[in-house]
Structure 1
Amino acid sequence: MKRFLNLLLLLVAVAGPACLRAQAPTPTPGFERLPSGTEYQLFRRDAAGHYQRRPLVVAGDSAYSTRQGRFLLGYITFLTGRDSVLQSSRQQMHNNPIPVPLQALTKKGGQEEAISLVLPGDSAVFRFAADSLFPGRPVPPELKRAGNVLVVRVVGVRLVNEATARADMQRLQTQMMAEQQAKAKAHNAKQLVKDEAAIQAYLKKNKLTAKAKKTPGGTWYVVTLRGQGLPPKKGQTVSVKYRGTVLATGKEFDSSAKHGGTPFDFVLGQGGVIPGWDQGIAVLPKGSKAMLLIPSTLAYGERGAGGDIPPNAPLRFDVELVGVK
């Protein structure tokens, strides 16, 4: 949502009278033009639910100045001059309208003026010369290739005050976060089955099955040298020497040796490292050496990390706990 509003506000801020100078002598076929140069098509939904062209001035419409400070809930789509979609609020916001601030009309020929024409129940299409929207900066290649035009489609739903707009934004953010968490949970459940199979096959191939143990959180570990005393506690600072490899390929992606042999320090159980590390180091007394086999769901997940750790990759870490503070 923020990305969408930021783009809209950016274009509102920079679009000005230059739009008029950059326009062609006659309007694009099917469009009308304001004196400032803004090209537009305005439609109003009729009683049957169909959109019909509407005049520029609607009888009974309050002046735009009376709407300033309020928000127009609606849908916005940014397209190239060849109708390729750049961004769609309907898609990104899961079909929820976004609040567009209605500002004082200080410029003509830009999107401030365009938005001022849209009423609840309207559908509108606007065309802008792209080079006038990005003064002093290169026009994005996708716009330049498609005729140097930015097309903005706006569907107005209703007008709300700032309090309602903020409440709607908070509701949308909460809803989208819950959906993302549910999606991640479902993915992790499926991926964990695959990761477990890969780790079990690795243990069997290397005859480590009998020696391997598993933390309650799901990290496998094989102790090759057990130290003395008790394992570290949550909140203590631990120092670890390590070598990390991708389980499937054996490719090294990082090690303390690459950093001059200096141990890596972190506070245990505070989320400063991947969950597999927090879990694996927590079962090792000081002086221990061990192999940690970490499912991707407890490592870098479906995003991977950099160019060396692919998405959904279980990892192996050979670790030595050299210090506990």
Structure 2
Amino acid sequence: MTLPTFLQPAGAGVYAIDTGFQREGFDAAYLLVQDGRAAFIDTGTNHSVPRLLAALEALGLQREAVDLVIPTHVHLDHAGGVGLLMQALPEATLWAHPRGARHLIDPRVLYQGALAVYGAEEMERSYGRLVPVDAARVKTTEEGMSITLAGRTLRVLDTPGHARHHHCLWDEASAGVFTGDTFGLSYRELDVNGNAWVFPTSTPVQFEPDALRESVSRIAALRPERLYLTHFGAVQDVPRLKELLLEVLDGMVELGRRLQAAPGRHEALKDGLFELYLGSLRAHGCALSDAQIHELLEMDIELNAQGIEVWLDKEAKAAG
């Protein structure tokens, strides 16, 4: 069987679908296939839905074979396409974190929040108009529960830190965890000799470093053989990646505290984050030029700086 280039086997009945969001190799949805039944884990945006449906067709699966749609959280690069996809999947049940489910049933607040950040033109270009999901087709998860696909068990882990409405899924059959954004971002262009580099995402507005550290440690404690990252793809060598991720997280926290009252804080944070990531990548052995690395990470640096600022301001307000 010849598969389209955006659809890649990831082992044990798991397929990574490059959603095409922003660029190739940036954003993945996963299709899990078990005994002729299927589940989507994360969906990308509305513009990603044709690829998801094409993935089913390429694997010889009918749309009626999809039983589950499970976004890891409701940020639009993970769940923006949920409503449109559900319209095409008549047998599917949507499983969402209880803090996020209401935003998929009625996405107006979610849309307006993103609209305020990105503006109308960018919202249309990147995401499109969000489609609500019928509440009767939505179920909510809780810590430790199991969701089954044709007898295959996915165990839910409540994993705040990146967002309070974030859960991950432990799939014992593949010895893998679908991590959304909790275990950070890892781009294949930054691999060195097959070894991945990873860094945290502090995208606004619920970055909580202590909770993130705990969630990362919980995932690693399962001793998974692989992690299925939304950004981007399956990675292995989890103990090394955990230590690297937490090291960079500590650097981000230290940088934020140091610059909390700095003039021109946002630009200073962006400059500091680039230097932090660059130093970590050089230690990793990355030979790309500074300019190439900056181009790859520019969007993440901007969003991470925004998220750190929101966290710092919340801390300052809480301290009175």
Report the structure number with the largest CA radius of gyration.
1
TM-score (norm 2): 0.19
TM-score (norm 1): 0.19
Greater strand proportion: 1
Greater helix proportion: 2
